[in-house]
Amino acid sequence: MPVTRLLCAAAALAAFVGPFAAPVSAMAQTKTVAITAIVQHPALDATRDGVVEALKDAGYVQGQNLKVEYQSAQGNPATAAQIARQFAGSRPDVIVPISTPSAQAVAAATRDIPVVFTAVTDPVSAQLVKSMDKPGANITGLSDMAPVGEHVALIREILPQAKRIGVLYNPGEPNSIVLVKALKDEAAKAGLTVVEASVPKSSDAQQAVRSLVGKADAVYIPLDNTVVSALESVIAVGQQAKLPIFSADTDSVARGTVASIGFDYLQVGKQTGAIVARVLKGEKPGDIPVSLAKGTDLFVNPKSAAAMGVTLPDAVVKRATKVVGQ
Averaged pLDDT of the chain: 91
Q: Which CATH architecture has domain 30-144+264-292?
A: 3-Layer(aba) Sandwich (3.40)
- Per-residue model confidence (pLDDT) at position 28: 61
For residue 259, give every residue at least 6 positions away whose Cβ sits within 8 Å of its Cβ, in sequence order, or none. 154, 158, 246, 253, 298, 299, 300, 301, 305, 312, 316, 320
Give strand pairing partners of 261. 298
Which has more confidence, 175 or 141? 141
Over the stretch 165-175, which tens digit does the pLDDT of each residue have?
Answer: 999 999 998 88
pLDDT at 231 over 80: yes
- Largest alpha-carbon pair distance within the chain? 99
- Model pTM score: 0.73
Instruction: Give the mean pLDDT of 89-106.
Output: 97
CATH node for 148-262+297-323: 3.40.50.2300
Over the stretch 21-40, which tens digit does the pLDDT of each residue have?
Answer: 434 444 568 999 999 999 99
Tell me whether domains 30-144+264-292 and 148-262+297-323 share a fold. Answer: yes
Over the stretch 250-306, which tens digit does the pLDDT of each residue have?
Answer: 989 999 999 999 888 999 999 999 999 999 999 999 999 999 998 789 999 999 999
Ranges of each domain in the chain: 30-144+264-292, 148-262+297-323
Instruction: Give the mean pLDDT of 139-153.
Output: 94
- Per-residue model confidence (pLDDT) at position 48: 97
- Per-residue model confidence (pLDDT) at position 23: 45
Identify the band that residue 16 occupies on the pLDDT scale cut at 50, 70 and 90. very low
**Nearest to residue 321, comparing CAs of 251, 231, 273?**
251
